[in-house]
Amino acid sequence: MYLCREYLSIMDRNNFDEIRSYRNEEINAALQRIAQSEQFRKVIAYIMPEVDIKEFAAKLSHINNTEEFQYSIALPYLLRLEKQLTKGIQSDHLEVVADYDAALFITNHRDIVLDSSFLCKIFLEHKMKSVEIGIGDNLLIYPWIEDFVRLNKSFIVKRGGGTRELFHNSMRLSAYIRQDITEKHQSVWIAQREGRCKDSNDRTQESLLKMLAMSGKGMPHEVLMPLNICPVSISYEYDPCDYLKAKEFQQKRDNPNYKKSPADDLLNMQVGITGYKGRVMFRFAPSINPFLDELGQREKDKAAQFSAIASEIDRRIHQNYELYSGNLVAYDLLLGVQRFANNYSAEEKAVFEQYIAGQMAKIDLPKKDEAFLYKKLLEMYANPVINHLESIKS
């Protein structure tokens, strides 16, 4: 269902106060609230133990705009994180998007916090305008977290509620993203699906594309073209949360009604930030607009268009994965083959197997299914290879 422009005109299209990122005049007050939060101080002490919390809070209290916050607080922290917990964060084909006025960057989703944070780091390092970030309201566990993300150019994706509320929230979110890109010339990041893809079998949800189309009028290819969608592939050599994801798979298998608690979400955020990630790659694909133009000429069915667009985003993300030796080892181990045996050394295989054994040991469950958990961990690293191989056939 589309939200026609006539319906949008009835709404106050600027009434995004519940979800929008903070304006510069709101930044200092938000930072002062954050600095006074005992929970925030504990988090800073955990993730930045070398920082004097009083000096840090004083520094926050003198910041008055988002750009200053990102360059003086966020970027230095991300650079330190890169040095301490990765072998380097690289970008590839950034030149294909560097000159775009604004774009909607749709990526696969591995880490709750770092996917979008590292993307912003890349842009800031290259003196490009950072993106606005869509973040689910389920992650706003404490008031200071909502303050923190909204002052850092994040907008809120509201989830839950009845059918009417969901429709209204989707409609408002769609209008907000469209206004950001087409009127404010502000690029946006959003994940290709709701929540992280736990098994790394990345697929774009058609419901996401339908939400984006709600604020336009016409066929899908027409209403999505102004958003200038650019798929981005994110590849981590190691996912610090892989053992938590495997644990959740068994918990859901054993109890179909299992749901993560807010404490679980916080743990995933902390482990994702502070865990070792190895090499990291962000590989950019150009706008899908030429594809949309061609699609509009050959396909006249709306449902078929949405399906084709989702598949094209997936194809570009899958083609652009960076495949590390661990991915190739996992593929061979999972399928019981030697397809990539010549592409990694015996030492690299041993290192990956030792890593998986270490992650298995971290999983604490009363009825731990070793075989099931081992397979799930292998799938997380093998699925990018499987999808990449499939994508290069097309």
Q: Are strands 278-284 and 229-236 parallel, antiparallel or unpaired?
A: antiparallel
pLDDT at residue 262, as a whole number: 87
pLDDT at residue 51, as a whole number: 87
| Confidence at residue 12, expressed as pLDDT on a 0 to 100 scale | 52
The pLDDT-based confidence of 10 (bands split at 50, 70, 90) is very low
| Residue at a domain's end among 265, 291, 318 | 318
What is the average pLDDT across 312-322? Answer: 98
Q: 190 lies in a domain? A: yes
DSSP secondary structure of 360-386: HHH---TT--HHHHHHHHHHHHHHHHH
Query: Does the structure show a pLDDT above 60 at 4?
Result: no
Tell me: do 269 and 385 sit in the same domain: yes
Q: When comparing pLDDT for 194 and 363, which is higher? A: 363
Average pLDDT, rounded, for the chain: 94
Number of domains in the chain: 2
Given a cut of 50, whether residue 7 has pLDDT beyond it is no
* Whether pLDDT at 2 is above 80: no
248 and 106 assigned to the same domain? no
Domain that includes residue 297, residue range: 5-17+90-236+280-318
pLDDT at position 394, please?
67
Token digits of residue 41: 């101080």
Nearest CA to 383 among 91, 115, 110, 106? 110
Instruction: Give the CATH number of the domain where residue 155 resides.
Output: 3.40.1130.10
Residue position matching structure tokens 């929230």? 169
Is there a contact between 86 and 60 (Cβ–Cβ < 8 Å)? no
Q: Is the torsion defined by CA of 210, 13, 216, 10 positive or negative? A: positive
Please check whether residues 225 and 340 belong to one and the same domain. Answer: no
pLDDT of residue 345: 98
If asked whether residues 265 and 145 sit together in one domain, one would say: no
Which pLDDT score, from 0 to 100, does residue 161 have? Answer: 83
pTM: 0.93
Position 250 pLDDT exceeds 70: yes
Whether 78 is covered by a domain: the verdict is: no
Do 170 and 288 fall into the same domain? yes
Query: Is 190 found in the same domain as 123?
Result: yes
In a domain, 54, yes or no: no
d(CA 311, CA 117): 26
Give mean pLDDT, residues 118-126. Answer: 97
**Do residues 311 and 353 both lie within one domain?**
no
> How many other CB atoms are there within 10 angstroms of residue 130's CB atom?
24
Q: If you average pLDDT over residues 250-255, what whole number do you get?
A: 97
Lowest mean pLDDT among 4-8, 129-133, 219-223: 4-8
Note whether residue 58 is domain-resident: no
Same domain as 327, residue 206: no
Angstrom distances, CA of residue 138 to CA of 152, 207, 319: 18, 19, 31
CB 92 within 8 Å of CB 281: yes
What tokens were used for 236? 């981590």
Asked whether residue 262 falls in the same domain as residue 122, the answer is no
